[in-house]
Chain A
Amino acid sequence: MAHTMLEVRELSTKYVTRFREDVYAVDRVSLKVEEGRSLGIAGESGCGKSTLALSLMGYYFPPLHYMNGEIVINGKNISGMKPDDVRKSILGKEIAYIPQAAMNALNPTRKIINFIEDVILEHEMYVTKKDIYDRAKKLFETLGLPAEVLQKYPVELSGGMKQRTVIAVSVLLLPKVLIADEPSSALDVTSQKMVIKMLKQLMEAGFISSMIFITHELPLLYNVVDDIMVMYAGQIVEKAPSHSAVFDPLHPYSKGLMGSIIVPEKGLRDVKLTAIPGVPPNLKNPPMGCRFAERCKFVRPECRVSSVSLREASDGRVYRCIIPEAELREAYAREEHKNDK
């Protein structure tokens, strides 16, 4: 049986704002990532993707607060661990996180090699600068990055090179799990492709064992990860193998998301995009029933009564909807028929 690298059970976390209001950004999320596998997280902005990423590292500081649930990383249960201990023994080694826009947060007055020294010196005491340099050089060369980059300042690097550098630095300590949050969204297509290639290379060459990749760009997810998890308003609404998630989504929200895919491929101009009307609910006060009900084409009165749990579909995927699989598929077929006419 495959070794589980990351397991999260019923994790709930919240932000407490300056006005002491609670924002329930992650609601009872469970997931499992096995060794050698990658998981994608999709969903429109504000649905809790980045908060989930932060939450599952167990590294909490205000305004983010842990509420419930368990996190097990590579066999270690880190739920309830003190932030300081998480920082010392978990971050960077067991799990590493590349935040959104990380490349723009680099201190402009320090060279790349200085960042690398910081990372290594935080974890290893008896190591010389020369050793650090040699290790960094070797890593960069293995990943196809020129070693000269080490002596440069962030401003001297292009956006794409900066992002690939940040990724390389994040795997210095050989973390088991890497979480990349929108790593290529601000880049031109060619640099984006290089970033994606590098992430795949990290998996293939064994620098990391598992990966979580967050983006709202579905064609990217489709090309990178094994499984896709769709989030809506802090909850998982569907989790399925990438191919089924993109070509055969089951939850009405996933269906809507997949209908907004735009690619320069023949056939695109003939399909009608399915935009999802409305906006996600405010997470200070999420609706009682299904959180998507307000925007759902297939909503029924029962949807608004009580919270909806995840259920398993015939192919083993999970989705959060009270409508049985067969009825959903029929409804989708009818819609398609309507569009054809």
Chain B
Amino acid sequence: MTSEKKIYLSAKGITKTFGFGRQKTVAVDNVDLDLYEGEVVSIVGESGSGKTTLSKVLLGLINQTSGDVYFQGVKRDISTQAKKQEYWKNIQAIFQDPFSSYNIFNKIDSVLLDCINMRGGRYLPREKKIEMMTEACSFVNLKFEELTNKYPFELSGGQMQRLMIARIFLLKPKILLADEPTSMIDACSRATILDELMHLRKETGMTVIFITHDIGLAYYVSDSVYIMEKGRFVESGSADGVILTPHHPYTRRLINDVPKIYEEWDLSTV
């Protein structure tokens, strides 16, 4: 056995199709995944490979066409709104475009205040709430005083994504699903965001599903890696194993095609 650790979340035979007949797309095709407690797992694939569709199924935002999701060993039941809310206490997400996931008319304090309320802090005294929000912001090197009364669109993409991490800090879910959290952010702020994400994970012991098209990022952050091509997992294993000794031709291509700085980057393969 790989580990004594508990399996937190597992997906068995997940398939998700869109459309019918000639229009049919199999976005996720019979995928199995086991997520162990405290692990950082990356799912890597090119655009259109089905990563976001799979994340939405795992989050319970869309229904799978077939297959089951198990949470802490029990088949997940999100058939009612109340059960969904209960499930979302355990699993939360950060998306690629931080601006799209938020009501832009909500001020930043209310984004954070909602998190405190969701965790049962609705009746805490105001000072306590401010203290919590200040702590969450300073965790990601943002200043709460400078954010109050601002709207999300007044922040840069990088600051907004850090605010999303502050949100997770307050929500303290058991599992965080991060879907391309840095793909719209420049290389410099990317390092800051990854570091803050990994710091949060270290502090909370949270389990992380990290979704990316960039195999370098996956290598940097994860314990294990799943490679996704056209809706299927074609290779998986430890990050070192998959990335330093890839077996599947698709994995090899993803690695070969990323620009290198230590080894030669061979342009003759395309």
Contact = CB atoms under 8 A, between A and B. Distances in A.
A189 B257 contact: yes
A264 B259 contact: no
B267 A264 contact: no
Contact of B187 (A196, A246, A257): A257
Given A192-B257, A275-B195, A267 B186 contact: no
B123 to A, nearest CB: 36
A265 B265 CA distance: 11
Contacts of A260: 187-188, 190-191
A104 interface: no
B260 A193 contact: no
Interface in A269-295: 269, 273-277, 279
A71 to B, nearest CB: 27
Given A189-B254, A194-B270, A265 B262 contact: yes
Interface stretch (B17-25, B51-59, B67-75, B211-219): B211-219
Interface string B235-249: 000011001100000
A41 to B, nearest CB: 13
Contacts of A274: 191
B141 A193 contact: no
A44 interface: yes
Contact of B159 (A189, A264, A279): A279
Nearest to A272: B195
B270 A216 contact: no
Nearest to B191: A260
Contacts of A193: 257, 259, 267, 269-270
Q: Say what secondary structure dominates the interface of chain B.
A: helix
Interface residues of B, number: 41
A335 B227 CA distance: 36
Nearest to A215: B187
Given A259-B191, A276-B188, A265 B270 contact: no
16 contacts: A44-B186, A189-B215, A196-B267, A216-B186, A217-B259, A220-B259, A222-B259, A222-B261, A223-B261, A262-B191, A262-B219, A262-B220, A263-B216, A265-B261, A273-B194, A276-B188
A219 B192 contact: no
A266 B244 contact: yes
Contacts of B156: 46, 279
A190 B216 contact: no
A118 interface: no
Contact of A223 (B187, B254, B259): B259
B32 interface: no
Interface in A221-262: 222-223, 246, 256-257, 259-262
A263 B239 CA distance: 13
A200 interface: yes
The CB with the most chain B CB atoms within 10 A, among A222, A261, A262, A277, is that of A262
Given A222-B261, A262-B216, A189 B188 contact: no
Interface of B: 46-47, 141, 156, 158-159, 186-192, 194-195, 213-220, 239-240, 243-244, 253-255, 257-263, 265, 267, 269-270
A218 interface: yes
A275 B191 CA distance: 5
A277 B141 contact: yes
Interface residues of A, number: 39
B259 A273 contact: no
Nearest to B220: A262
Given A197-B270, A257-B187, A268-B216, 19 more contacts: A44-B188, A188-B47, A190-B257, A190-B270, A193-B259, A193-B270, A196-B259, A217-B259, A222-B259, A223-B259, A259-B191, A261-B261, A262-B194, A264-B215, A264-B219, A265-B261, A275-B188, A275-B189, A276-B192
Contacts, number: 115
Interface of A: 44-46, 188-190, 192-194, 196-197, 200, 216-220, 222-223, 246, 256-257, 259-269, 273-277, 279
Contact of B188 (A256, A267, A269): A256
Contacts of A217: 187, 259
A257 B270 CA distance: 29
B257 A268 contact: no
Nearest to A277: B141
A223 B192 CA distance: 24
B260 A219 contact: yes
B188 A188 contact: no
Contact of B260 (A197, A223, A257): A223
A223 B261 CA distance: 8
B254 to A, nearest CB: 6
B219 A218 contact: no
B260 A275 contact: no
Contacts of B260: 219, 223, 263, 265
Contacts of A279: 156, 158-159
Contact of B189 (A44, A200, A222): A44
A200 B189 CA distance: 29
A196 B191 CA distance: 24
A263 B258 contact: yes
Contacts of B218: 264
Contacts of A263: 216, 258-262
B270 A264 contact: no
The CB with the most chain A CB atoms within 10 A, among B158, B216, B253, B255, is that of B216
